[in-house]
Amino acid sequence: MSEHVTCKELVDFLDDYLEDRLEPPVRRRFEEHLDACPPCRVYLDGYRDTVRLTRSLCDDTDAGPPAAMPETLIRAILDSRRRS
């Protein structure tokens, strides 16, 4: 990475930035770019929200009213056991 981080480099290394895997000097250049580039800040915020949204749905098997399963499917599953 050169002296200045470009918008493309910022996006390419976004996961490393968010997971704090960048060397301190590189991280500083990242933050300089963010300070100077509002569109990249908007991009970063949206990316972070996106990851947060998907993560919030992990393991939702207990959550909310479960989907209604067709009775035919329930019967088919139970029948498959009796057949085997």
Partner 1 sequence: MLSLVDPSLATAEDERRLIAALRAGDDAAYETLVRTYAPRLFPVARRIVASDAEANDAVQDAFISAFKSIDRFSEESSLRTWLHRITVNAALMLLRSRRRRPEQRSIDELLPRFEANGHRVDTGGGWSTAAVEGLEREEKRRLLTRLLDELPDDSRTVLVLRDIEERGTAETAEVLGITPGAVKTRLHRARQALRTLLERELSE
> Can you give the binding site for partner 1, defined by CB under 8 A?
6-9, 11, 14-15, 37, 39-40, 42-43, 45-47, 49-70, 73-74, 76-78, 80-81, 84
The number of C-alpha atoms within 13 Å of 61 and in the hemisphere containing its C-beta is: 1
Structure tokens at 10: 């910022």
Q: How many whole angstroms separate alpha carbon 29 and alpha carbon 5?
A: 6
Give the x-and-dash track for 10-39 against Zn ion (CB under 5 A).
---------------------------x--
Q: Which one among 4, 7, 31, 42 touches Zn ion, defined by CB under 5 A? A: 7
